Structure 1
Amino acid sequence: MDRRRFLTAAGTVAAAGLSGCLADLGRLYTSNEPPVLSNRPDEVYVPTHTEGMQMVGTADAGDLRVGVFYSYAHRFWVIDDESDGFQTTKIPHTADDDIHLMVSAWDPETGVAVPDTGLSVELTRDGDLVSEDVVYAMLSQRMGFHYGSNFGLDGDGTYEVTVDVGAPSLNLFGDVAGKFDSPASTTLEFDYSEAERNEITYELLDETNGELDAVEPMTMGAVPLGVAPDSLPGTPLGTAMTGGLRLAGTVVSADRFGDDPYLAVSPRTPYNRLVVPRMGLSATVSADGDTQFDGGLEPGLDPELGFHYGTPVSGLDGVPERQATVTVDVPPQIARHEGYETAFLEFDPVRLG
């Protein structure tokens, strides 16, 4: 039941004079999320609920375009390097949190989402600082890769949100080569009211939560999601699953990658092909049984490949039998919304080709 249906049902059994109490009850309902599932699988799963969001707006920041949104404050998980391996730790929302603020960044000319820019947000009201923070790089089933965190506000009113973006640590190819090389900033203004926030949809998924699946990403209009290509250019090496992550490989021969064939590995979620950045990958590449490369892959961005990890490898041209054994050396260093927090932590090497 979403929040509007909840309030409608409550209103049918309450007197009109209790409308203020019902508004408080509705706020209590949306701020108290369903309990975390006790039997979560160590894979991608359907979360307990979904939320809509309110768009603040879009604006250019240097070569990038950013979109800013907000929804209800909610829990998320950050990744920690513990003595026994990487684990996720829940960050609950508090009574001081009013919204979960989200920012996406992309190249407006190609429509390619740009992860790993480094991004911070400052909220002001009437020139006074309300909140300033480096937001988390995050992954959610509804929005894909974005930056976000919970923020407290100072009541209803008009706010300014300033977004600072850095230069992404990526190899850039094709129509994005030479872009995003300088930090930039932009400011958007928006009117906030608790009542309007409480109109954002909220749906419980009682019948499907915990299943090995994912909810559909939301449609965001002019804001592109970070979705990996269904079909990669070049000579495909196939796909493989490890740690709940799907890896797709290809070898591309094109001038923009240099003189040698270019090995590209595209990491994506298993159900909706959402790109998964901020990880460490290495590969051993062989051609006709001879090792041609053994080392780390570098993060890259290309309009046709999207976000990927890759390296040039000599000796692959004209060779019919090409294989790559790919190892995830460092799991994705991103915060996770519910449904991803138990996945993408432990990996076995996989073979492509």
Structure 2
Amino acid sequence: MSMEGNYEINGELVVLGIESSCDDTSAAVLRGNRLLSNVIASQKVHEAYGGVVPELASRAHLRNVVPVVSEALRRAELKAEDLDLIAYTRGPGLLGSLLVGTSFAKGLSEGLKIPMVDVNHLQAHVLAHFIQEGEEEREVPHFPFLCLLVSGGNSQIVLVRSPLDMEIIGKTIDDAAGEAFDKCAKVMGLGYPGGPVINKLGNEGDPFAFTFAEPQIAGYDYSFSGLKTSFLYKLRDELAKDPHFVENNKADLCASLQRTIVEILMKKLSRAAKDLGIKEVAVAGGVSANSALRDAMVAYGERSGSRAFIPPFAYTTDNAAMVAMAGAYRFASGASSSMADAPFSKVVI
């Protein structure tokens, strides 16, 4: 997405952010770029199904959105009448879930007679790096920088020229990194979501115990389907010889899978940074909570002489603070939304 405009945010602007793109209902309040509250209601119902069930997610959002927004305002010590702007996630995501957040935002905007802006969920993940907390200023990236955006549904390298001028220069052509984590965890019987479990077990294992296929994809694009297939074949072959193979090697399998995924991600990011001559890189999205990836980003920065930015854990998963931040930037540029704007599921940025 590219948009010219002013990016200076009014420090007194009070923004309510609403996020409902998948299975987390979240509301947050910012004053300028400073966080006042960030509330997230997660949905445990999906664990029994091994993945997010869209219909169940939509119903949970309907139950959660009002109390979550109320709690965000309470923690910010504000009333609805104190709000200046409402920012909401328009997409990409699950349409049913997005409809709940979109409809609530429109109704609240109309009721309070204040403006609203729609936010791209992926763009918001990138801009989470600019949220400030408390009195101390946290260092933020300088433009242009590269952002490795990795989650359950997306694996992208984004060239960030300004808060609202971003270009995807590399993306997955099949599965995302988060999907690879979750699907491999599922076949090992580790439950859903699998990423955090693999991270925990992987930190206890040998990352070089097993070798899995790494894709050879041109340019900056990613592919994780071949890695997933290689992992499945390894389990199949070893289980045929030893029925207890997974149980006896769980930590090493997780560590080796984690190392391989992180290496695939970092190779393309470092190549893009070198080719484009960019000395500042960042990581964002749900997979940015992975400790091996966070360590790899720090190591890359030290090795290359670049500045590497890692988001606080609170901003790695879907959250409304990043939506409010993106909304503040869009509002500063003159953007606004109308009642006719419909949510979208397609991945764009």
State the TM bucket, normalised to the shorter chain. Answer: under 0.3
TM (norm. structure 1) is 0.25
Higher RCO by CA contacts (8 Å cutoff, separation 6 or greater): 2
Structure of greater Rg: 1
Structure number having the greater helix percentage: 2
